[in-house]
Structure 1
Amino acid sequence: MAKKSLIQREKKRKKLEEKYYSIRRSSKKEISLPLSLSDKREIQEKLQSLPRNSAPTRLHRRCFLTGRPRANYRDFGLSGHILREMVYACLLPGATRSSW
């Protein structure tokens, strides 16, 4: 189980990302237009003034049950060892255990 403070920090980042999404997106579109260098610099400063944690690249997927940040499967939202346990317990329909 991940530390609760790390999970809360990730939730806070998600909330910030949603709050500043439209501002960040419109600024990115404006900066791609053919403008003068001074205008682009102003838009870049506006982007840099946004909170650092509002950037979508700072988000990290976590396991739905344990909060583990590594080895997550996007389809299930679970980490690898939890997924394996659920398959062995027959809780995921259609998933088969590997045996060779």
Structure 2
Amino acid sequence: MARKSLIQRENKRQKLEQKYHWIRRSSKNEIKKVSSVSEKWKIHGKLQSSPRNSAPTRLHRRCFSTGRSRAHYRDFGRSGYILREMVYACLLPGATRSSW
């Protein structure tokens, strides 16, 4: 299970991303519309002044039950480790166990 501090940090990043989402989107659209370079630099400076953690690329998907960030399956919202346990417990219909 992931440390609680990492999960809290990720939640904080999600809140910041939601807060600054429209500001980032509008400033990026303004950059596309403006033709002069000096105005683009001003808008870019405004975009850079927002917090670094508000960027959507800094977010990580985490397992819903354990908080693990690696081996995450988007379709299920779980990590591979938890999916494997669920298959062994017959909690996922249609999934088969692999045996060599």
- Displacement of 1:99 after TM fit? 3.3
- CA offset digits 1:31-79 (Å, max 9, x no partner): 1124211100000000000000000000000111111110000000111
Counterpart mapping for 1:52-91 below 5 A: 52-91=52-91
Unaligned 5+ runs, structure 1 = none
TM-score, structure 1 as length reference: 0.95
- Displacement of 1:98 after TM fit? 2.1
TM-score, structure 2 as length reference: 0.95
- Displacement of 1:95 after TM fit? 1.6
CA-atom RMSD, angstroms? 1.0
Unaligned 5+ runs, structure 2 = none
Identity value in percent: 77
Find the counterpart in structure 2 of residue 99 from structure 1.
Answer: 99
Return structure 1 stretches of 4+ with deviation > 3 angstroms.
Answer: none
SS of equivalent residue, structure 1 residue 20: helix
